[in-house]
Amino acid sequence: MKKIAIIAPADHSFKAFESSVEGDALFEKIKDILKGYSEEVLLLSSLGLGAETLAATAALSLKEEYGVSLECVIPFEEQAKDYSEADRDRYFYILEKCDKETLLQTRYTAEAEENLLRYMTEEADEIMTYGELPLKAMTILSESGKKTVKL
């Protein structure tokens, strides 16, 4: 099984990707990447708002026909606490439909983001990235030595 992680900076809302040309194109690009492997695929997503949620949605859309699996990697329990109602509903819908849920820690700490990035890079065979990542994320990705595909 090929494990692919999506890492992207959290946007303020999923709305930027809904019914937009950019969002539709990104959704199709992610689907094409996930369909392009000759073996089973597991997508790891932390369900951060924006590209990570979009990637999780793409994986779910391929579950029946292509057998793509989804692992939601939750950095801390209250991740969705400050999401809008629509974003929170989408978050919990995806959690209900995913194949595996991994909770990394119960409470937010200053190390939560780094712990998430390290888990994703250690577990994944390849990494998809979107947007401008913070220096810490770029360093962790570089140290991992994993193949990275920029969306």
Q: Which tens digit of pLDDT belongs to each residue from 99-119?
A: 999 999 999 999 999 999 999
How is 24-93 classified by DSSP, letter by letter?
A: HHHHHHHHHHHHT-SS-EEEEE---TTHHHHHHHHHHHTHHHH--EEEEEESSTTTTTTS-HHHHHHHHH
pLDDT of residue 12: 57
Write out residues in the chain with pLDDT < 50, as ranges.
none
Identify the architecture of domain 2-150 in CATH.
3-Layer(aba) Sandwich (3.40)
